[in-house]
Amino acid sequence: MITHMGIPVSPGVAIGEALVLDQERIRIPRRFVSRDAVEEELERLRRAVDQVADDISQNRDLITAELGEQYGAIFAAHLAMLRDPTLQQSWERLIRQEYYSPEHAVSSTLRKYAAVFERMPQRYLAERAHDVLDLERSLLRRLLGLRREELTQINTPVVVLAHDLTPNETASLDRTKVLGFATEIGGAGGHVAIVARALEIPAIVGVGPFLAEVEPGDLVIVDGDSGQLILRPDPATREHYQQQADKARTLARGWERHCHEPALTLDQQHVQVHANIEFPREVEVCLERGADGIGLYRTEFLYLSGDHEPNEEEHFQAYREVAQRMAGRPVVIRTLDLGADKLGGSYADYQEPNPFLGLRSIRLSLRHMPLFRCQLRAILRASAYGNLRIMFPMIATVNELRRAKAVLADAQEDLAEQGVPFSWPIPVGIMIEVPAAVLMLDQLLPEVDFVSIGTNDLAQYVLAVDRSNREVADLYRETDPAVIRLIDTTVRQCQAHGKAVSLCGQMSANPLCTPLLIGLGLRALSVPPANIPEIKHVCRSVSAADCQKLAQRVLQMESAREVEHCLREELKKIRP
Ligand code: PEP
Ligand code: MG
């Protein structure tokens, strides 16, 4: 039995057989293939060779056009190497006679060639080894890419163990088959964590290197509450976890019994508990768990789960479905928050040195007008079918807000001219995720109807800590006094301006923080649907007056550690 500690990001315990994915995010290929599969595997390899050859030819043409024949010749040499009959014969022989998988055959052949080059005394020739290894990588990527779909085609229950997963890959996991997952890299605030919670799949990220210690099919335990990853547990450990999982289920059932009642504190203060969703299909769970509305619909997942850019009709259908099924309850649709770690699909190759400080979110929307206009038109059209509100993410300046509103006004005029029905004026809000926005609230608030505090980003920007970087995960704390002071300022400013305020960062789903947030004056929280019953239960167990005293104490504290200790003691009073 081996135990590793990671960052718990999605609660619950998963016990099951390991499905191991390597750095290329695919299942580590088997070393051998069955006799019957040889022809099929050879065909797969031929397709991969053709695809790599196409890639190289394209690069050759591009470089020749840009820099001239001389440079294009570099790629011509790669192409000649790839098509070399001796090379092809040697990997085909390994597949036909030794039953090697194409990945192993390609890798072992090319590595032998590279080793020969490396031994050459002439530096010029020794460096050719890089070209050979480059070819190996390209072929492997193509070969493995051809198998990527395996992640969506899992047909037995497994625990996925990977170096990393993209939000897109996480979104494609089938929760009836994937019992849980653990990754070597990643941090608590990343979007992989968000999707895991949305899918209610127990998950741990940022475990550090562990894949070399596990074989596909090993029994593993992912403890999404404590962050423990246990490889090949002994029978006693397995029994212990089984019991814990049963206990958690019983507790959750108790909370669920009252989830449709309003969350009234002991002194009768009503706390609205809304849901955060990523996909329209989640509405069902929101209603089952007693959501008072949708406080955050992360629409960028429309982009991340498909293989093409959604058109206006697809946007519209998704929003109308949510609006209709929520039947008059408020639904806050956040415009695209694409960029940084969420980019995928056609944007996958787009690279920035500092993506979280780059062309992200509202900045990206304002730069890509057709995309932004298309989404705003769709939201407006869907507003005729329910109680919709629009929220702009990552607003840092008054100018950005005004520009976004101007695009909305344009979309509204166009629809009105075309006689398309929509609801107007539609409430407009912004997310408070950048410290600059908190400082500028007196200027921003007169121009909006509501705000929602996004502590996931607010914490990363105010503390200068990347929310998905395991190396600095210990510094990424939503309970840091700096974050709490920003929330306090925001709530007080909103109260002064008579504007509605809620909090939709992950902090709102942490029961430890609920009394503090009530004490800071928040009366609306937006949490993943799975957390609604528990958060409502905590709201009902405290009095707002006591919470206010708690908040005053916490505002004087100097560290996240001190804050967390105090909040833990407080929660113990209601939940020993
Ligand atoms: C946040 O930043 O707190 C938030 C809710 O937005 P996201 O997690 O999607 O960035
Ligand atoms: Mg955010």
pLDDT band at 350 (very low <50, low <70, confident <90, very high): low
- Residue 25's pLDDT is what? 45
Instruction: Tell whether 13 and 114 lie within a shared domain.
Output: no
CA separation for the pair 298, 46 (Å, rounded): 41
Is 467 near ligand 1, meaning CB less than 6 Å away?
no
Candidates 278, 504, 517, 522: which one to mutate for ligand 1, based on the most atoms within 8 Å of Cβ? 504
Q: Does the annotation count 547 as an active-site position?
A: no
Q: How confident is residue 66, by pLDDT bands cut at 50, 70 and 90?
A: low
Q: Which atom of ligand 1 is nearest to the CA of 454?
A: 3
pLDDT band per the 50, 70, 90 thresholds, residue 381:
very high
pLDDT digits (tens, 9 = 90+) for 388-397: 999 999 999 9
Cα 433 to averaged position of ligand 2 atoms, centre (Å): 6
pLDDT in tens, 129-178: 777 877 887 888 788 764 444 566 677 899 999 888 876 678 778 888 89
The residue from 259, 494, 504, 539 that is catalytic is 504
Indicate the angle between helix axes 69-82 and 38-67, nearest 10 degrees: 170
Residues 368, 386, single domain; the answer is yes
Bridge-based pairing state of the strands 2-5 and 228-231: antiparallel
The answer to whether residue 374 is catalytic is no
- Separation of 458 CA from ligand 2 center, angstroms? 8
The answer on pLDDT for 229 being more than 60 is yes
CATH number at residue 98: 1.10.274.10
Chain centroid to Cα 480, Å, comes to 23
Gap from CA of 431 to ligand 2 centroid (Å): 8
Q: Cβ contacts of residue 274 below 8 Å, gap of 6+?
A: 291, 292, 293, 294, 295, 296, 330, 332, 502, 504, 524, 525, 526, 527
Domain of residue 328 covers 258-574
**Helix, coil or strand: residue 363:** helix
Weakest mean pLDDT among 61-75, 268-282, 324-338, 539-553: 61-75
pLDDT band of 533, cuts 50, 70, 90: very high
In this structure, which amino acid lies at residue 102? P
230-239, 302-311, 488-497, range with the lowest pLDDT? 302-311
CA angle 362-366-369, nearest 5°?
Answer: 135
* pLDDT on residue 152: 63
**308 vs 396, higher pLDDT:** 396
Q: What is the pLDDT of residue 153?
A: 66
| Residue among 153, 181, 155, 171 at smallest CA distance from 14 | 181
Give the pLDDT mean for 54-73. 77
How far from each other are the two terminal CA atoms of the chain, in whole angstroms?
Answer: 32
Query: Do 49 and 158 belong to one domain?
Result: no
- Ligand 1 in reach of 504 Cβ (< 6 A): yes
Written in H, E and C, the secondary structure of 186-241 is CCCCCHHHHHHHHHCCCEEECCCCCHHHCCCCCEEEEECCCCEEEECCCHHHHHHH
- Pocket flag, ligand 1, residue 300 (CB < 6 Å): no
Report which of residues 349 and 520 the model is more confident about.
520
Does 371 share its domain with 473? yes
Question: Residue 124: is its pLDDT beyond 60?
Answer: yes
Based on DSSP, count helices (H) and strands (E) in the chain, helices before strands: 23, 17
For residues 342-360, give the mean pLDDT: 70
Q: How confident is the model at residue 343 (pLDDT cuts 50, 70, 90)?
A: low
Is the pLDDT at 405 greater than 60? The verdict is yes
Last residue of a domain, one of 250, 283, 305: 250
Number of domains in the chain: 3
Q: For residue 412, what are the contacts with CB-CB under 8 A and spacing of at least 6? A: 380, 422, 424
Percent of the chain with pLDDT over 90: 62
In the predicted structure, residue 74 carries a pLDDT above the cut 90 = no
- In 440-543, where does DSSP find H-type helix? 441-444, 455-463, 481-497, 514-519, 532-541
Q: Which atom of ligand 1 is nearest to the CA of 276?
A: 5
Ligand 1 contacts CB of residue 457 (under 6 A): yes
Nearest to residue 360, comparing CAs of 433, 284, 429, 425?
A: 433
For the Cβ of 24 lying below 6 angstroms from any atom of ligand 1, the answer is no
Cα separation, 468 vs 23, in Å, equals 17
CB contact burial 313-334 (16+ within 10 A = b; e otherwise): eebbebbbbbbebbeebbbbbb
Do the beta carbons of residue 232 and residue 15 sit within 8 Å?
Answer: no
Instruction: Return the CATH number at 491.
Output: 3.20.20.60
Q: Which of 4, 78, 104, 191 is catalytic?
A: 191
Residue bearing the CA closest to ligand 1, atom 8: 456
Report pLDDT digits (tens) over 427-481: 999 999 999 999 999 999 999 999 999 999 999 999 999 987 888 988 999 999 9
| Ligand index nearest the alpha carbon of residue 189 | 1
Whether residue 66 sits in one domain with residue 36: yes
Q: What is the pLDDT of residue 90?
A: 92
- pLDDT band of residue 349 (cuts 50, 70, 90) is low
Q: Say if residue 540 is in the same domain as residue 459.
A: yes
Q: How far apart are CA 499 and CA 486, in angstroms?
A: 17
Q: Do residue 80 and residue 188 come from a single domain?
A: no
Query: Could you say which of 226, 250, 274 is where a domain stops?
Result: 250
Q: For residues 284 and 417, state if they share a domain.
A: yes
Considering the domain architecture, whether residues 434 and 472 belong to the same structural domain is answered as: yes
Residue 26, both tokens: 């695919």
pLDDT beyond 50 at 297? yes
Question: What pLDDT digit, counting tens, does each position of 504-528 carry?
Answer: 999 999 999 999 999 999 999 999 9
- Inter-CA distances, 284 with 73, 258, 275, 291, Å: 58, 17, 11, 10
Atom of ligand 1 nearest to the CA of 300: 9
Which tens digits make up the pLDDT trace of 9-32? 998 999 999 988 765 444 445 567
Rounded to 5°, angle at Cα 25 from 24 and 29: 75
Check if the beta carbon of residue 45 is closer than 8 Å to that of residue 53. Answer: no
Same domain flag for 269 and 169: no
Q: State the Cα–Cα distance between residues 228 and 212, nearest whole angstrom.
A: 17
**pLDDT for 305:** 63
Residue 235, preceding bond cis, omega within 30 degrees?
no
Q: What is the mean pLDDT of the chain?
A: 89
172: number of CA atoms within 13 Å, CB side?
Answer: 18
Any ligand 1 atom below 6 A from CB of 334: no
Arithmetic mean of pLDDT, 37-63? 87
Quick check: 182 and 222 in contact, CB under 8 A?
yes
Residues 300 and 189 in one domain: no
Residue 168: predicted pLDDT: 66
Q: Which pTM does this prediction carry?
A: 0.75
**Closest to 294 measured CA to CA, from 306, 308, 284:** 284
- 234, with CB counted inside 10 A (0-12, 13-18, 19+), is exposed
Q: Tell how strand 158-162 and strand 178-183 pair up.
A: parallel
Q: Give the pLDDT confidence score for residue 347 in this predicted structure.
A: 54
pLDDT: which is higher, 338 or 25? 338
- Answer with the one of 214, 234, 250 that is the final residue of a domain: 250
How far away, in angstroms, is 465 Cα from ligand 1 center? Answer: 15
Instruction: Please give the number of the atom of ligand 1 that sits closest to the Cα of 296.
Output: 5
For residues 408 and 542, state if they share a domain: yes
Looking at residue 152, the DSSP 8-state letter turns out to be: G
Probe residue for ligand 1, chosen from 337, 338, 364 as the CB with the greatest number of ligand atoms within 8 Å: 337
CATH (domain of 13): 3.50.30.10
Structure token pair of residue 215: 């074989």
